[in-house]
Structure 1
Amino acid sequence: MIDRHTPQLRAALGFWREGRRQEAIAMFNAIIRDDANNVQSYIVPARAYAEKFEFERMEDVLARLVRRAPKHPGVHHYIGETYGMLKLPDRALAAYQLAADLPGAGPPTWMELASLYERAHRLEEAEDLIERTVRTGYSLALVWLVRGRIQRRLRRLDQAEAIFRDLIARSADDLPAAWEAWSEIALMRDAQGDYAGAVEAIEQCKEAQRRHETAHMTVSNQIHGEMRRLIDGISADDFRRWRDSAPPLEARTALLTGFPRSGTTLLEQLLDSHPALTSSEERDFIGRDLLQSVVSRRSDRNLFSALNELSDAQLATDRCRYFAAMEYFLGEPIAGRLHLDKNPAYNLTIPLVLRLFPETHLIVALRDPRDVVLSCYLRYLPLNAVSVRFLDPVRTAERYALDMSAWLKFRGLIETPWREVRYEDTVADAAGQARLALETLGLPWDDQVLGYRERLSGEKNKQVTSPSYEAVAQPIYTRAIGRWQHYEELLAPAMKTLEPFIREFGYA
Structure 2
Amino acid sequence: MPTTASQEIFNEAIHHLNNGQAPRAIEICQSALVRNSNDVNMVALLGACYLQTNDISAAEQQLNKAIDLAPTFAKPHEDLGLLLVNDDRYEEAIPLLQKAVHLDSQLDVAFFNLGKALAAVGRGKEADQAYEAAFNLSPERKAMAMAAKAQKEGRLEDAEKGYREVLKSNPDNVDALRMLAQLASAAAHYDDAERFLKRAVAKAPDFLLALLDLGEIYKNQNRYHEAVDTFKKAIAIAPNRPKAYLQLASTLAPASDPKEAIAIYQRCLEIAPGHPGALLSMAHQLKTAGRLDEGIKAYEDCIQSRPDNGETYWSLANLKTYKFNDTQIAEMESRSAQQDIPASSRINFLFALGKAFDDRKDYQKAWHYYQLGNNEQRAEINYDPVHTEVTNDKVIATFTADLIAKYAGLGNSDKAPIFIVGLPRSGSTLLEQIIASHSQVEGTSELPYLTRVSTSLSKNRVDGVNYPEAVLELKERHLKQLGQDYLDAAEIHRVEKTPYFIDKMPNNFPHLGFLHCILPNAKIIDARRNPMDACVGNLRQLYAKGQNFAYDQTDIGEYYLQYQRLMDHWHEVMPGKILTCQYEETVADLEGQVKRILEYLELPWEDSCVNFHDNDRAVRTPSSEQVRQPIYTRSIGKWRRYESELEELKEVLEDVLPRYEKYLSAT
* Whole-Å separation in 2 of the counterparts to 1:300 and 1:54: 27
CA shift, 1:264, in A, is 0.7
- Report if the CA contact (8 A) 1:257-1:363 is conserved: yes
Q: How does 1:115-154 map to 2 (within 5 A)?
A: 115-133=284-302, 138-139=306-307, 141=309, 144-145=312-313, 149=317, 153-154=321-322
Matched, 1:217 2:383: yes
* Whole-Å separation in 2 of the counterparts to 1:388 and 1:301: 26
SS at match of 2:234: helix
- Report if the CA contact (8 A) 2:353-2:369 is conserved: yes
1:249-280 Cα shifts (integer Å, max 9, x gaps): 13433321121111111011000111122233
* Structure 1 residues 248 and 468: CA distance shift in structure 2, 3 A: closer
Q: Return the letter of the residue paired with 1:314.
A: H
CA shift, 1:179, in A, is 0.9
- Report if the CA contact (8 A) 2:535-2:560 is conserved: yes
Matched, 1:295 2:458: yes
- Report if the CA contact (8 A) 1:367-1:422 is conserved: yes
- Report if the CA contact (8 A) 1:264-1:344 is conserved: yes
List runs of 5+ in structure 2 lacking aligned partners: 1-53, 55-82, 88-173
Q: Quote the residue 2:216 is aligned against.
A: 47
* Whole-Å separation in 2 of the counterparts to 1:317 and 1:152: 42
SS at match of 1:283: coil
List runs of 5+ in structure 1 lacking aligned partners: 457-461
* Structure 1 residues 147 and 391: CA distance shift in structure 2, 3 A: closer
- Report if the CA contact (8 A) 1:180-1:380 is conserved: yes
CA shift, 1:45, in A, is 0.7
Q: Quote the residue 1:228 is aligned against.
A: 393
Q: Quote the residue 1:459 is aligned against.
A: none
* Whole-Å separation in 2 of the counterparts to 1:79 and 1:350: 33
- Report if the CA contact (8 A) 2:256-2:492 is conserved: no
Q: Quote the residue 1:471 is aligned against.
A: 626
Q: Quote the residue 2:613 is aligned against.
A: 453
CA shift, 1:59, in A, is 2.6
SS at match of 2:653: helix
Q: How does 1:404-483 map to 2 (within 5 A)?
A: 404-456=564-616, 462-483=617-638
* Whole-Å separation in 1 of the counterparts to 2:311 and 2:572: 50
1:211-250 Cα shifts (integer Å, max 9, x gaps): 223xx224x5434312122224532222111114x14513
Greater relative CO (CA pairs within 8 A, separation 6+): 1
Q: How does 1:89-108 map to 2 (within 5 A)?
A: 89-102=258-271, 106-108=275-277
Matched, 1:257 2:421: yes
- Report if the CA contact (8 A) 2:231-2:244 is conserved: no
SS at match of 2:633: coil
* Whole-Å separation in 2 of the counterparts to 1:151 and 1:241: 47
- Report if the CA contact (8 A) 1:274-1:449 is conserved: yes
Alpha carbon RMSD of aligned pairs, Å? 3.1
* Whole-Å separation in 1 of the counterparts to 2:396 and 2:521: 20
1:125-163 Cα shifts (integer Å, max 9, x gaps): 34544555555x545615752685499855343233234
Q: How does 1:57-206 map to 2 (within 5 A)?
A: 57-84=226-253, 89-102=258-271, 106-133=275-302, 138-139=306-307, 141=309, 144-145=312-313, 149=317, 153-170=321-338, 172=340, 175-206=343-374
CA shift, 1:71, in A, is 4.9
* Whole-Å separation in 2 of the counterparts to 1:363 and 1:449: 16
- Report if the CA contact (8 A) 1:114-1:130 is conserved: yes
* Structure 1 residues 124 and 248: CA distance shift in structure 2, 3 A: closer
- Report if the CA contact (8 A) 2:316-2:322 is conserved: no
TM-score, scaled to structure 1 = 0.86
TM-score, scaled to structure 2 = 0.67
Q: Percent identity?
A: 21
* Structure 1 residues 207 and 103: CA distance shift in structure 2, 3 A: closer
- Report if the CA contact (8 A) 2:208-2:238 is conserved: no
- Report if the CA contact (8 A) 2:329-2:353 is conserved: yes
Work out the number of aligned pairs and report it: 492
* Structure 1 residues 229 and 120: CA distance shift in structure 2, 3 A: same
Q: Quote the residue 2:529 is aligned against.
A: 367
